[in-house]
Structure 1
Amino acid sequence: MNQNIDASLVAGNHKPCAGYQAENFLWEVRDRVGIVTLNRPERKNPLTFASYAELRDLFQRLRYADDVKAIVVHGAGDNFCSGGDVHEIIGPLIGLKAPELLMFTRMTGDLVKAMRHCPQPIVASIDGVCAGAGAIIAMASDLRLGTSRSKTAFLFNRVGLAGCDMGACNMLPRIIGQGRASELLYTGRSLGGDEALAWGFFNRVCAPESVLSEAVKLANDLAHGPTFANGLTKTMLHQEWNMGIDEAIESEAQVQALCMLTEDFGRAYHAFAAKQKPVFEGN
């Protein structure tokens, strides 16, 4: 780090997450990779009001983490996430009035916003059940590794709700196409792992016993790459949804010029000239 940077600027914008102690899921950092484990395997890892809020807060905090360069999200046991807990979320929602219901739906949407705005690429490791809000978390990740036996379902329709939940009507068509997204959101049917790969929802299908290790390896590769540039790639993938082509090309020109000022760009050139593999440092 540049020693000439004002310490108060660093203190306000660099907040390590390696020592973060999660209360509603497991969190650890391995060699620049943060790993979120949804940890209620006896119930297929459902979410609660508390876990929604803590996940939102963690991903917001990760915007300022200088010790985490990529993230893996997975579920304990043989399932990813069964969505909102029927008894701890769905039941209590029945008795709430509009202001409190809107507070809940905004909180769940803020989790997706936080995932999309943190600069670290997020890799979802998906096995077994991936339903409801679990499917949304998978959708909001940058890369998705699944298994043939996984079943992904945007099942809001099946509980009397609209498919437009937590950004699904915006993001899902961009991943798999309008027609396919419409089918999943209107019917709530499960998308098997091999079909998810064919449709482009999964980037790769792995064996159940290796899907997590493959996801961690992919995240580790990203975490040791040009992470400043990777963060800008994620930002532009998100921002360019709302741009015309001319705006996008100009924005990418500005971003690429900025990346050319980094030391990683110079490291890559010198390594290439020496016929060596570059060692990136994210600056």
Structure 2
Amino acid sequence: MSDNPIVIETRGAVEVVTLNRADALNTFDEAMTYALREYFAALPDRQDVRVVVLRADGRHFSAGLDLASWDNDRSRGALQHCWHLQRSIAGLLELMRACPQPIIGLGHGAACGAGFSLLLACDIRYGTPDLRMNAAYIKVGLGGCDLGCSYFLPRMVGASVAAEYMLTGRFMEAETALRHGLLGLITPREDLLDRALAVADEMLANAPMGLRLTKDAINRNLDARSLSDAMALEDRQQVMMLMSEDFAEGVSAFHARRVPEYRDR
């Protein structure tokens, strides 16, 4: 097994992050969890990275939590140990939602438990025909609502469908996920990265600040109390962009029928 739990490949303004524990089915051990946390925590200060593609090596995206691999020193007490483990992965998902870069998640094989939540925390999800996802927590004596699943899933597929899968731990197949809007597309694995990079190129054609603010507004307005609150956020963001040099460049390029040259100013 590689000493690097994740592999990061830079492709211009896009970074491809690959889970690299294929021999362990990309399960979450402490090293992989904290490598991902460190990566996503740094993204708000990295304007050189504008889009992130998240994928996995091996046969499966992620089989969930590698419980045995975590530090089992219980000298601080069982409660403190379990709290550290729980918050380590939960905090990773919060960092993913908070970072300004859109994240395109590419799922294949099994995505169970924490692996399922990792995909749910992405902004866009594409999958292979063999992708199978489940909230596996309830199958091992825990509650079915864990690691953001009860937040993300009802908002994406509706409360009734989400409840069915969280209460049973049943696998959701790729075609079902596509039908419910959880996946944007299904494509063979050999084409998966190319499809994601093509969408990333479309995003990169837009103003950098506009891209960041769009992700911010989408995520914040998932919890908006009213249409008025949602529009108030949109209004503020659009006024900010109206005052930017990139907006002036966008209008000029549109009228000149040329490709805009944005400078993130």
TM-score, normalized by the shorter chain, greater than 0.5: yes
Separation in 2, partners of 1:76, 1:137: 15
Q: Which runs of 5+ in 2 are unaligned?
A: none
Aligned pairs (5 A) from 1:1-283: 23-89=4-70, 92=72, 97-240=78-221, 241-283=223-265
Relative distance call for 1:268 and 1:137 in structure 2 (3 A) is: same
Q: C-alpha deviations, 1:144-186, integer Å up to 9, x for none?
A: 0111111111111111111221211111111111111111111
Relative distance call for 1:141 and 1:94 in structure 2 (3 A) is: farther
RMSD: 2.0
Separation in 1, partners of 2:204, 2:29: 30
Residue identity in the other structure for 1:45: N
Separation in 2, partners of 1:111, 1:236: 20
Residue identity in the other structure for 2:212: G
Deviation at 1:86, TM superposition (A): 4.7
Residue identity in the other structure for 1:214: R
Residue identity in the other structure for 1:226: A
Separation in 1, partners of 2:108, 2:233: 37
Separation in 2, partners of 1:158, 1:169: 16
Relative distance call for 1:224 and 1:81 in structure 2 (3 A) is: farther
Residue identity in the other structure for 1:281: R
Q: Which runs of 5+ in 1 are unaligned?
A: 1-21
Residue identity in the other structure for 1:35: V
Q: C-alpha deviations, 1:25-68, integer Å up to 9, x for none?
A: 11121111111100122232111012112211211111111210
In 1, are the aligned partners of 2:29 and 2:67 still within 8 Å (CA)?
no
- Percent identical: 29
**After the TM superposition, which of the residue ranges 113-122 and 263-272 deviates more from structure 2?**
263-272
Aligned residue pairs: how many? 261
TM-score relative to the length of structure 1 = 0.86
Q: C-alpha deviations, 1:198-249, integer Å up to 9, x for none?
A: 0111011111211122112222332342221111111112222143221221
**After the TM superposition, which of the residue ranges 131-140 and 229-238 deviates more from structure 2?**
229-238
Deviation at 1:77, TM superposition (A): 2.5
**After the TM superposition, which of the residue ranges 139-148 and 76-85 deviates more from structure 2?**
76-85
Moved over 4 A (4+): 91-96
Relative distance call for 1:163 and 1:242 in structure 2 (3 A) is: farther
Relative distance call for 1:125 and 1:281 in structure 2 (3 A) is: farther
Deviation at 1:192, TM superposition (A): 0.9
